[in-house]
Chains A and B, each alone.
Chain A
């Protein structure tokens, strides 16, 4: 299982763009990269998933360099409600179990 490393915490002001980078140096060829958001006392919520290059959806963008050893979750114009823990997970296959790293605790303030 590919191990992931993320910053423990980040702070941002409302309206700013936030970029959270995750390192996964031993990512396997068939691994996907998935990011989740978790609020207190709730299950993680899927944000975005990618394999390579750039993926964008209505809430975030995911940048993956060519070597795939890292990835960056980009949240445009964060709001107070984006205060949460963000997890980067790496894995593949329908039965592949995913192991959570420490996650990044994002605090957004006015």
Chain B
């Protein structure tokens, strides 16, 4: 099946710093990628839809200035958590659609101290 690579898998940062998470489709091109957030023992919550070459579409309640998304190529989308605070600590997961199926990255555990 298609492979989606996400890194880093784990990041610890100080409050106030910014963190960038990368999501790559390794063997297919993805004009659309999705970013999810997941809290412990909860389901995945869609944050935004990343569109190659255009602005991302954010879900209601998601701050676009806090979670910057860039989709500059057909194989790479990045999520930058700006001025991170402890409440931003969470598991972030990206996905991309290939062959009519949605494939997910392995996730990034963000811990903000």
Q: Do A and B bind each other?
A: yes
B-binding residues in A (CB < 8 A): 32, 34, 36, 41-46, 49, 87, 89, 94-95, 97-103
- The residues of B with any CB-CB pair to A shorter than 8 Å are 1, 4, 6, 31-32, 34, 36, 43-46, 49, 91, 93-95, 97, 100-107, 109
Q: In whole Å, how far is A74's beta carbon from the nearest beta carbon of chain B? A: 19
A40: min CB distance to chain B, Å: 9
Residue pair A94, B97 in contact (C-beta under 8 Å): yes
**CB-defined contacts of B36 to chain A, threshold 8 Å:** 100
Smallest Cβ distance from B26 to chain A, in angstroms? 14
Once bound together, how far apart are the Cα atoms of A82 and B54, in whole Å?
40
5 closest A-B pairs by beta carbon, nearest first, are A43-B104, A100-B44, A100-B43, A95-B32, A43-B107
Contacts A32-B100, A94-B32, A95-B32 known; A43 to B43 CB distance under 8 Å? no
Residues from chain B with a CB closer than 8 A to the CB of A94 are 31-32, 97, 100
Min C-beta distance of A104 to chain B, whole Å: 11
- The answer to whether B44 touches A97, judged by C-beta atoms less than 8 angstroms apart, is no
